[in-house]
């Protein structure tokens, strides 16, 4: 699958959080998140390994009981079933990859993606 960069086709997940699923494979799914300053991604856990990269901005990740300030260029990997949340300190863009693919994020697949 191929996806060309576009600022279109994002979906609002919650106030200040927008998502677009960029590509979907058999074992992974990659998403782009636009995060507005002061937004909160509520504490949650899921049965997916989550690897992320902060393309721009500044967020505070809470992973279990620890806090990590993430800045542009930083990355993370959160194992499945681990409690986490994020506070957005500055407008940010994050790329996240989930394995296996998140079923609930398939509906956000970018309509401009090209299946090979």
**28-54 pLDDT tens trace:** 999 999 999 999 999 999 999 999 999
Q: Which CATH architecture has domain 11-108?
A: Sandwich (2.60)
Domain residue ranges of the chain, discontinuous segments joined by +: 11-108
Q: What are the structure tokens assigned to 1, written together?
A: 């699958």
pLDDT tens, 63-106?
999 999 999 999 999 999 999 999 999 999 999 999 999 999 99
72 contacts 56 by C-beta, under 8 angstroms = yes
Burial status of residue 108 (CB atoms within 10 A of its CB: 0-12, 13-18, 19 or more): buried
């Amino acid at each position: 699958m191929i996806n060309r960069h576009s600022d279109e086709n994002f979906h609002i997940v919650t106030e200040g959080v927008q998502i677009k699923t960029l590509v979907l494979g058999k074992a992974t799914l990659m998403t782009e998140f636009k995060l507005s300053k002061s937004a909160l991604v509520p504490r949650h856990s899921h049965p997916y390994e989550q690897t992320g990269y902060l393309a721009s901005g500044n967020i505070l990740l809470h992973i279990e009981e620890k806090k990590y300030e993430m800045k542009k260029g930083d990355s993370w990997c959160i194992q499945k079933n681990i409690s986490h949340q994020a506070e957005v300190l500055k407008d940010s863009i994050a790329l996240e990859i989930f394995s296996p693919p998140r079923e609930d994020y398939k509906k956000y697949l970018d309509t401009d993606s090209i299946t090979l």
